[in-house]
Structure formats: C-alpha cells, structure tokens
Amino acid sequence: WHVTTPEFVADLSPQEMRAQIKRHIFTTMGHFHGRIKVWDVVNEALAPDGTLAENMFLKKLGPSYIEECFRWAHEADPSATLLYNDNKVEGIGSPKSEGFYKLLAELKRRKVPVHGCGIQAHFNAAGTGLQRPPTPRMVKEQINRLGDLGLSVCISEMDVRVSKLPPNLRQVAQKQIYHDIIAAALTEPAFDGVWLWGFTDRHTWVTHFYYDDEPLIYDEEYGRKEA
C-alpha cells in the first residue's frame, strides 16, 4: 500500500526522512494529546511472506524505523495506547501471521513501548487458498498467543466481501463470518474490541480499489442487513 505517502518523502535523505517522521509523530500526537487514547503507530510493515516489506522506510532507514516510531510516539504521549496494525494476520498458520507474531515478540523483548496490535479482518466470503477467511479457532489461537506477549488485540478494520457468491447466499454467509469471528475473539481475555471499516455499502474502499461489493453491515440505503 503506502499509496497515500506524499511523493516528496521518497526524495528525502535518510537523515531528513527520520527527522520528518519524528516531527510528524510529535506534531500530530501533540495536537491531539489527551483526546485520542489509541494510535496505530506503524501500519502494514510486513510483506506477504512475513518479512519486512521493502518500502521506502525500510530502504532508507533500515528495520529500526519501527522501533523508533514507537519510542517517539511514547515520548510524545506517554499515556497513549500504541498499536501495530496489519492485514492477513488474523489467524495462525500463514507465513505473514507468523511474521506478525515474531515482529511483536521481538519488539516486546526489546522493551519497545508497543501495547497492542490490530488484526484487520478484511475477509472475502468466497475466498480460497490464502484468500480464505481463517476459522474462528485460528483467530482465537492468534489472539491468545499475542495476549501471552502482554498485548491487547483488536479487530481493527473488519468487513466481509460477498460479491463473488450467488446473490441468495451473500447475506447469510456474511452474517455467519461476522458472528463467528467476533464470537471467537470475545472468548479471549486479550481481545479489546472490533472496529468496522465503514458502516454502509454506499461508502466502501472495496468499490474504490477492486469491484462493486456489499461488505458492510448496512446497505447503500442505510438499511440494516442480516449481519
């Protein structure tokens, strides 16, 4: 992703980039100090194979940029809860979910002030292979082991795509996935809540990036769906 990073950032020297990131963190968190309690400090820093993504930050700053961002954020607001957030890490078993766990375990080992994590939960009800939604047990086990690291865990961007299913199955399948995943998560003490990635199908990132879909819990006319 990183598609919204301003173009000028790529032209900065490593020293300039580090200074700009620190300035951005202190300016933004300083402005909202005491009003925003939870922050995604670093977002989607992992590649599908679980290694660090070869983005501009890694190329110019090296892997330490993640730790530095958390330390700056904690300095900017010591009372804030700081999260690392990523996609396709909701259940155990995939290379990326293993990389997610190892990254957070290493940050905790180094006493980096990361307090929790977000597992995004952008699901495709018709997905197969690596695109298949995780089972509730896989999600439960992922939350459990992250909790054992001393982290809180939230489902941070949930939606459930259904357009590849037959029309008569869409709402039923969507309701089942929302219910089963959230119900499993709620059984874990480390689970700290769920945030949906929007609420109405009238405004969804899926249509903008991929294709027409109905991934949210209200339809385009703001009517409640089965989910």
C-alpha span between 105 and 57 (Å, rounded): 21
How far apart (Å, rounded) are the C-alpha atoms in residues 34 and 57?
29
CA distance 53 to 43: 11
What whole-number distance in Å separates Cα of residue 79 and Cα of residue 71? 13
Digit-by-digit pLDDT tens for the chain (227 residues) are 667 888 899 899 999 999 999 999 999 999 999 999 999 999 999 999 999 999 999 999 999 999 999 999 999 999 999 999 999 999 999 999 999 999 999 999 999 999 999 999 999 999 998 889 999 999 999 999 999 999 999 999 999 999 999 999 999 999 999 999 999 999 999 999 999 999 999 999 999 999 999 999 999 999 999 99
Query: Which one-letter DSSP state was computed for residue 33?
Result: T
Cα dist from 201 to 13, 133, 167, 178, 217, whole Å: 42, 20, 15, 15, 8
Catalytic residue among 44, 67, 98, 188: 44
**pLDDT of res. 129:** 87
CA 63, 209, 157, 32 torsion: positive or negative? positive
Annotated catalytic residue 221: no
- Compute CA distances 18 → 7, 14, 22, 71, 78, whole Å: 16, 6, 6, 13, 21
User: What domains can you pick out in the chain, each with its CATH number?
Assistant: 7-209 (3.20.20.80)
Q: What is the pLDDT of residue 222?
A: 97
Dihedral angle of Cα 56, 61, 62, 63, to the nearest 10 degrees: -90
Q: Are 107 and 115 in contact (CB under 8 A)?
A: no
Find, among 160, 61, 77, 141, the residue nearest to 115 by Cα: 77
Spatial distance between the Cα atoms of 12 and 4, rounded to a whole number of angstroms: 16
Q: Write out pLDDT tens, residues 104-155.
A: 999 999 999 999 999 999 999 999 988 899 999 999 999 999 999 999 999 9
Q: State how far the Cα of 119 lies from the Cα of 117, in Å rounded to an integer.
A: 7
Which of 68, 141, 157, 214 is catalytic? The answer is 157
What single-letter DSSP state applies at residue 5?
S
Residues in the chain: 227
